[in-house]
């Protein structure tokens, strides 16, 4: 055996160290080399459910839950508009109910513009213990106040470009409209959050939906 833990040494093979398998009469016997029994690899893990389940997250059927991540094919799109629409369902003083959604917590912890994973410990503890006071204190923090300001500005902003184009298509463009489209009145502005170039008539970014 080696002193170093990363080095293993083996004893040199010698003929006198080899013992032939013999039966009680001294005859050499060949035995079938059976594999390791499968029973040794089976492990029993008891599984059960609690008699009185305790639901940690909000299960109110009257509210629209936050979209599920990685479900874009099913229409579950997680963006700032979805965050704004979800938060507007809750009245002041019901912040604990708002954050008691797993997909909501996962989104705000990893969102691109303001990742909050370094500040999530108090709110996770509030959700786990159903502590509304702790949740309200966290809602008054500086990092969440920034998100609330962006939500307020986004909800009171002008329609997005897709709606603007849809209205123009519904009324039907004429020659004058085509000339105005060919020569836009204004300069493109750069979003300070995602650096996307937006048309001058928009007050929110077409890419990240954050206010100008």
Quick check: is 94 in a domain?
A: yes
Please tell me the pTM assigned to this model. Answer: 0.49
What is the arithmetic mean of pLDDT over 162-180? 40
Quick check: is 87 in a domain?
A: yes
Range of the domain at 103: 72-155
Quick check: is 202 in a domain?
A: no
Low-confidence winner among 24-33, 153-162, 181-190, 201-210 (lowest mean pLDDT): 153-162
Higher pLDDT, 74 or 25: 25
What is the arithmetic mean of pLDDT over 36-53? 73
Q: Is the per-residue pLDDT at 62 higher than 50?
A: yes
pLDDT tens for each residue of 90-121: 888 888 888 888 888 989 888 877 778 888 89
Domains in the chain: how many in total? Answer: 1
Quick check: is 106 in a domain?
A: yes
pLDDT the model gives residue 177: 46
Q: What are phi and psi of 59, to 5 degrees?
A: -125, 35
Quick check: is 123 in a domain?
A: yes
pLDDT tens for each residue of 79-91: 888 888 888 888 8
Q: How far is CA 154 from CA 22, 48, 93, 151, in A?
A: 86, 46, 21, 5
What's CA 89's distance to the chain center, in Å?
A: 21
Short-list 106, 107, 99, CA closest to 78: 107
Quick check: is 150 in a domain?
A: yes
Quick check: is 82 in a domain?
A: yes
How would you classify the pairing of strands 189-190 and 197-198?
Answer: antiparallel
* CB neighbour burial string for 155-168, b if at least 16 within 10 angstroms, e if fewer: eebeebeeeeeeee
197 Cβ contact partners less than 8 Å away, ≥ 6 residues apart: 188, 189, 190, 191
Quick check: is 101 in a domain?
A: yes
Low-confidence winner among 40-49, 59-68, 115-124, 169-178 (lowest mean pLDDT): 169-178
């Amino acid at each position: 055996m080696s002193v170093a833990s990363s080095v293993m040494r083996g004893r040199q093979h010698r003929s006198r160290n080899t013992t032939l398998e013999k039966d009680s009469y001294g005859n050499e016997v060949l035995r079938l080399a059976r594999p390791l029994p499968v029973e040794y690899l089976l492990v029993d893990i008891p599984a059960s459910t609690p008699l009185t389940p305790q639901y940690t997250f909000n299960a109110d059927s009257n509210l629209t839950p936050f979209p599920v991540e990685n479900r874009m094919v099913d229409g579950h799109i997680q963006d700032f508009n979805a965050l704004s629409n979800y938060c507007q369902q809750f009245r002041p003083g019901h912040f604990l109910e708002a954050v008691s959604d797993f997909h909501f917590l996962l989104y705000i912890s990893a969102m691109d513009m303001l990742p909050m994973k370094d500040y999530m410990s108090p709110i996770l503890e509030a959700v786990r213990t159903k502590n509304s006071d702790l949740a309200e204190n966290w809602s008054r923090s500086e990092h969440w106040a920034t998100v609330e300001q962006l939500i307020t500005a986004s909800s009171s902003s002008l329609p997005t470009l897709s709606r603007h184009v849809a209205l123009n298509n519904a009324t039907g463009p004429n020659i004058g409209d085509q000339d105005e489209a060919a020569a836009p009145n204004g300069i493109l502005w750069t979003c300070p959050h995602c650096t996307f170039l937006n048309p001058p008539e928009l007050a929110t970014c077409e890419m990240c939906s954050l206010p100008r």
